[in-house]
Amino acid sequence: MAIRTYREAVKEALAQEMALDDRVVLIGEDVCGGQAGTAEVGSKGEAFGGVLGVTKGLWTEFGSARVIDTPITESAIIGMAAGAAMTGLRPVAELMFMDFFGVCHDMLYNQAAKFRYMFGGKAKAPMVVRGMIGAGFSAAAQHSQSPYHIFATTPGLKVVVPSTPYDVKGLLIQAIRDDDPVVFCEHKALYDIKGEVPEEPYTIPFGVANYTREGTDVTIIALAAMVHKANQVADKLAAEGISVEVVDPRTVSPLDEDGILESVTSTGRVVIVDESAARLGFAHDLAALIATKAFYQLKAPIIMVTPPHTPVPFSPVLEQAWIPSADRIEAAVRKVMEA
Amino acid sequence: MSLSKSELLKAYRKMREIRVFEERLHQENTTGDIPGFIHLYCGEEAIAVGVCEHLKDTDYIGSTHRGHGHCIAKGCDIHGMMAEIFGKDSGLCRGKGGSMHIADLSKGMLGANAIVGGAPPLAIGAALTAKTLGNGGVAVSFTGDGGSNQGLVFEAMNMAVVLQLPVIFMFENNGFGEATGHDYAVGGRNITQRAAGFGMPAVKVDGTDFFAVYEAVAVAVERARNGGGPTAIEAVAHRWYGHFEGDPMLYRADGEVERLRQESDPLKIFSEHVSGQISAEELLAIDAEVEALVDDAVAKARAADFPAVESLLTDVYVSY
């Protein structure tokens, strides 16, 4: 096992799959950067390698035919990836900030997601759309959202929201090898976290939740950055004798219903932490699942810890109040423990 | 550019197949047995065939909501198409797509597309595949004059020029986007010039003349196959039927369509063009064969089974 950051895990998955399979190409804005600059491209190193440096080094390794810098043109990026996917490539398109799906969603929502079903099982779209989600950087309302719940409402899309470097690498390789379009959500607040990652390529199957803490009193369900806050709360409350189980579904679609319900039925108390939305979000979907399939095992009402129903604010004070906090998660756990 | 007699006969047969298929659907639709919407291609046959006669099964096209002609020209099975339009299990998409989503990847047909302007981004992707694999393939997108105003079409054209992709943007200017005329909706009233502004060769041709289309596409295909990048072609033709079947066409002048059928019929124009090489009897023989083919396709489609309800949940990941 090597120690890798979440960022390095993304790049390692891409590099290893590109080395294994010539059909894998990267498409995006400034995935290398520096084309037609006043310095020769690459002469001072890759200009960006992705805006947060995630893909840095891949252009040097694989060249312009495999690491394709595009104009700022999201519809053409996702559309080109979809057309390439249905004709034999395995493109990984980078949307940069997942918020930008708003300018190009047709090519996923009406096109790639539907090919396999709409064409009677005779077409497929093996593509990955990578993008950053998450608040915490004062990146404000158009660069901080976590719209994985919107992707997951669309049949045909698979949606991955990893929380650790280990999960990033295994799930991204699975995403590239998967024959369906996969939306791969990278939480920008996690890029620098470190963890053990096998050096060789490996896959993690979709739809298998990970229990990051085992416990008997309360189940917290969380994704991405929220998993780490949930773990922190679980560790704190363990000292008081409150035993918290933390379930990280890792993929929103497919969803490990059995894994989630198993934990919920064993503890009978549920807190769902979700950065996506205050209404009609992932938390609400899970709450409905639990209420319809595990109602009689519940000892307390389900509590959802979500942002308020507002855009993500800019000022750090406001933004911190917006993001579901460890304090709010802890309060929710204490509340369900009262029942 | 000279075509052999057999090539001319093949082109004529394809155009006739499109005409008969569409005229027959116009009748069949009145019975109420065709679910959903259909959009007929009559009057524009020379464009689809003029393009696709240059393409192989390994070349790709992306189409529009008015896609039956493109499908036939690209080699999709007439029986499979008709069954699909009737919503039957024997349809090309097992009854899951319908008229607006007929696809056959084995023929390089990436699908009719019910999103106006949907094909160009997908076609540049198919072109990227051809370029990446170095297989000499070409991709063609079909877009109407209405679709020519969509932003994602502009994005696709720019990307194709930036990456020098082997793609041809076919703009079928039939004068109307739904019920709105080209002269109202296309700001500069010049699709060709606008495409040229993206930095690629762009030409305008008479889309009722198979030979005009064929020759323009020949140049574009050769350019694409030889690494010369994208081309835009605007082909001007006329839509004989409404936007959709059932459209009363209140936006058209009295007698306009009757006049177009007399003066701008792509099949008549073709027949006159080849009259020195091909006899009327030979063409009539093809017409009869095509009529019989479409009769059989309708009969078989009507008799075919609807999909089993169980197939509702196949071909997609289903959560709950």
Q: What pLDDT, on a 0 to 100 scale, did the predictor assign at position B317?
A: 86
DSSP A261-325: HHHHHHH--EEEE-SS-SSSSHHHHHHHHHHHHSGGG-SS--EEE---SSPPPSSHHHHHHHSPP
B62, B125, B315 member nearest A120 (Cβ): B315
Portion 21-80 of A in contact with B at CB < 8 A: 23, 25, 27, 65-66, 68, 70-71, 73-80
Q: What is the pLDDT of residues B287-316, one digit of tens each?
A: 999 999 999 999 999 999 999 999 999 999
- Establish if B146 touches chain A: CB-CB under 8 angstroms: no
Residue B1 has pLDDT above 70, yes or no: no
Q: How far apart are CA A161 and CA A133, in angstroms?
A: 9
Measured between its terminal Cα atoms, the distance across chain B in Å is 58
Residue A273: φ, ψ to 5°: -110, 125
What integer best gives the mean pLDDT of chain B? 97
Q: What average pLDDT does this structure show over A198-216?
A: 98
Q: Provide, as residue numbers in chain A, all residues whose Cβ is less than 8 Å from the Cβ of B96.
A: 117-120
β partners of residue A158: A182
Tokens at A282, concatenated: 């992932």
Active site amino acids of A: 143
Q: What is the pLDDT of residues A216-273, one digit of tens each?
A: 999 999 999 999 999 999 999 999 999 999 999 999 999 999 999 999 999 999 999 9
CB contact under 8 A, A118 and B94: no
What integer best gives the mean pLDDT of chain A? 97
Q: Provide, as residue numbers in chain B, all residues whose Cβ is less than 8 Å from the Cβ of A77.
A: 159
The interface predicted TM-score (ipTM) is 0.93
A75, A79, A84 member nearest B129 (Cβ): A84
Q: What is the pLDDT of residues A123-180, one digit of tens each?
A: 999 999 999 999 999 999 999 999 999 999 999 999 999 999 999 999 999 999 999 9
User: A254 preceded by cis ω (within 30°)?
Assistant: yes
Q: What average pLDDT does this structure show over A304-323?
A: 97
Residue A274 CB neighbour total at 10 angstroms: 27
Q: Provide, as residue numbers in chain A, all residues whose Cβ is less than 8 Å from the Cβ of B123.
A: 83
Q: How far apart are CA A96 and CA A76, in angstroms?
A: 14
Residue B319 has pLDDT above 80, yes or no: no
Portion 132-171 of A in contact with B at CB < 8 A: 155-156, 158
Question: Sorting pLDDT into bands at 50, 70 and 90, what band is A339?
Answer: confident
Q: How far is B86 from chain A (nearest CA, A)?
A: 14
DSSP label at A110? I
Q: What is the pLDDT of residues B112-131, one digit of tens each?
A: 999 999 999 999 999 999 99
CB contact under 8 A, A86 and B152: no
Q: Which residue is it, tokens 């029942």?
A: A339
Whole-model pTM?
Answer: 0.95
Tokens at A173, concatenated: 């390789």
Question: Sorting pLDDT into bands at 50, 70 and 90, what band is B320?
Answer: very low
Q: How far apart are CA A73 and CA B280, in angstroms?
A: 52
What is the three-class DSSP state of A158?
strand
Tokens at B107, concatenated: 């023929």
What is the side-by-side order of every strand in the sheet holding A210-213?
A: A210-213, A244-248, A218-221, A270-273, A303-305
Tokens at B35, concatenated: 């679910």
